[in-house]
Amino acid sequence: MVTDRTGDHRQPLVATDGDDGGASYSRDGTALVFHSDRDGNFDIFSARADGTAAIALTRDPAVDQMPAWSRDGKQIVFMSNRGNGKTFDIYRMNADGTNVERLTNGKSNWFPEYSPDGGQLALHIERDVYIMSLSTKGLRRVTYEPNNGMHPTWKPDGHQLAYMSWRNGRSEIFTSLVDGNSPKPLVTMPTGDAIDPRWSPDGRFIAFVHVPGGVDNDKDGAAQRIVYIVEVDTGRLQRISR
């Protein structure tokens, strides 16, 4: 589903019997990637920006999910458990699905996102945010459990991150500098959890998901989920989904 910032003019992008999600637009807005289990297990697909002409980029018996474009549109990163069938690692491939390369090896690695300059990835490992240099594959830790962080997203100027954290007992949206300094809570909902932040291209807003009943009570994935945006400078919330 795609919508404008008001929540109006909603339009479905893909319509299949499978579970489609994790969509990421290319920087030029002409294409998107997403994961889908329409063929029996989760693989990475690409499509035109309107959701048409979808093709499978991976066909692996493992679970491939949460793809993200490189800034030049030439490569895609994603998470997969194809290494051992249990824990997830981060992989990179060309935009046509060729030359798949494993970038991490060990623990549990989730939700990669390219930095604005294309030279780094933000990801979370276990319950903390890390930055990976794509030239050296070196990792730099940003958060430290119990002041944890997950599902990181870059501010477009490359100077800040937003992420979700359980450091205060339930999930809130935090921002910090890329080195982890100056962490600040941005969103604390009256009930439940605020999860899965994504920064807007203009840097003014962050979209996130509110789970009113709390993620710990969502055992079957059927709990209500509401999409909001927050204006970063003012903290003003706007509900997007109905």
The enclosing domain of 205 has a CATH number of: 2.120.10.30
Domain that holds residue 21: 1-114
- The verdict on residue 125 lying in a domain is no
Residues 109 and 155 in one domain: no
Domain ends where: 93, 114, 135? 114
- The verdict on residue 184 lying in a domain is yes
Q: Does the structure show a pLDDT above 50 at 39?
A: yes
* Chain mean position to CA 140: 19
Nearest CA among 137, 181, 143, 134 for reference residue 164: 143
- Rounded distance between C-alpha atoms, residue 47 and residue 53, angstroms: 5
Q: Please compute Rg for the chain using Cα positions.
A: 17
9 confidence band (pLDDT: 50, 70, 90)? very low
* Average confidence (pLDDT) over 37-49: 93
* Chain mean position to CA 200: 13
- The verdict on residue 242 lying in a domain is yes
- Rounded distance between C-alpha atoms, residue 90 and residue 197, angstroms: 19
Residues 178 and 97 in one domain: no
Residues 168 and 95 in one domain: no
Residues 171 and 103 in one domain: no
Residues 168 and 84 in one domain: no
Residues 66 and 164 in one domain: no
- The verdict on residue 68 lying in a domain is yes
* Average confidence (pLDDT) over 45-59: 94
Residues 103 and 203 in one domain: no
- The verdict on residue 121 lying in a domain is no
The 3-state DSSP class for residue 217 equals helix
Number of Cβ within a 10 Å radius of residue 157: 9
Question: How many domains is the chain partitioned into structurally?
Answer: 2
Residues 220 and 154 in one domain: yes
- The verdict on residue 135 lying in a domain is no
- Rounded distance between C-alpha atoms, residue 113 and residue 124, angstroms: 10
Instruction: State what percent of residues in the chain have pLDDT above 70.
Output: 90
Interior CA angle at 181 toward 233 and 175, to 5°? 35
Which secondary structure element, helix H or strand E, spans residue 129, and what is its range? strand 128-133
H helices, E strands: number in the chain = 0, 20
DSSP 8-state class, residue 37: -
Over residues 150-209, the pLDDT tens digits come to: 999 999 999 999 999 999 999 999 999 999 999 999 999 999 999 999 999 999 999 999
- The verdict on residue 153 lying in a domain is yes
